[in-house]
Amino acid sequence: MQVETLPEEVVKRKSVELLQKFLGANVTLPEPTGMLRSTWFSNPYIRGSYSYDSVSSMKYPNSRADLGKPLLDSAGTPKVLFAGEATDLTQFSTVHGASESGYREAMRILSS
Ligand SMILES: Cc1cc2nc3c(=O)[nH]c(=O)nc-3n(C[C@H](O)[C@H](O)[C@H](O)COP(=O)(O)OP(=O)(O)OC[C@H]3O[C@@H](n4cnc5c(N)ncnc54)[C@H](O)[C@@H]3O)c2cc1C
């Protein structure tokens, strides 16, 4: 997220420096003609790329489980269900966590 606040020129220069470091002095890198970078964090429709535990997450040990709890009707039947990587207790941040959470909610529907 900090990188998104840096000017394009700085990111470009640092990227070239890094590439040069790994490729060694025997390789001459041409100057980039342009740069395209993602801005997942500043995009108001995304606000990040995937969920992660922060230092304060320890204060809320059930937060992922709470996020995945369905909304029930008065008879206790699940009506609105939530899947997605952020609701997976162990494989959050990943595609496999996302798909596992989909199976979890599908099983919830089947068993109700
Ligand atoms: C750059 C990048 C690299 C990654 N690399 C890896 C990797 O190598 N390995 C790995 O396992 N995982 C990786 N991930 C993570 C993985 O892509 C995600 O964990 C996974 O896609 C999450 O799936 P999801 O279904 O939970 O959420 P998403 O795939 O984010 O799906 C959520 C959907 O909901 C839609 N949506 C949001 N708000 C609304 C709304 N109000 N109304 C209707 N629709 C809405 C969104 O448009 C989106 O289509 C990476 C992610 C990023 C961004």
Residue pLDDT, tens place only, 31-80: 999 999 888 889 998 887 899 999 999 999 999 999 999 999 999 999 99
Q: Please check the confidence at residue 16 and state whether its pLDDT lies above 90.
A: yes
Strand runs (DSSP E) across 1-112, as ranges? 71-72, 78-80
Indicate if 34 and 75 belong to the same structural domain: no
Indicate if 35 and 65 belong to the same structural domain: no
* Structural domain range at position 73: 55-111
Cβ(102) – ligand 1 distance below 6 Å:
no
pTM of the predicted structure, to 2 decimals: 0.74
Q: Please check the confidence at residue 92 and state whether its pLDDT lies above 90.
A: yes
Ligand 1 atom closest to Cα of residue 93 = 19
Give me the number of domains the chain comprises. 2
pLDDT at 40: 87
Q: Please check the confidence at residue 1 and state whether its pLDDT lies above 80.
A: no
pLDDT at 71: 97
Other C-beta atoms lying within 10 Å of the C-beta of residue 96: 11
From 49, 66, 81, give the residue that closes a domain: 49
Average model confidence (pLDDT) for the chain? 93
Phi/psi at 92 (5° precision): -60, 160
Indicate if 67 and 31 belong to the same structural domain: no
Closest CA to 50 of 85, 82, 83: 85
d(CA 49, CA 39): 9
Q: Please check the confidence at residue 24 and state whether its pLDDT lies above 80.
A: yes
d(CA 38, CA 40): 6
Cα 90 off chain centre by = 14
Phi/psi at 72 (5° precision): -105, 155
Cβ(100) – ligand 1 distance below 6 Å:
no
Q: What is the DSSP letter of 48?
A: S
CA-proximal residue: ligand 1, atom 27 (nearest): 84
Cβ(49) – ligand 1 distance below 6 Å:
yes
Residues 6 or more apart whose CB falls under 8 angstroms from that of 60 comprise none
Residue of 40, 50, 91 best suited for mutating to test ligand 1, as the one with most atoms within 8 Å of CB: 50
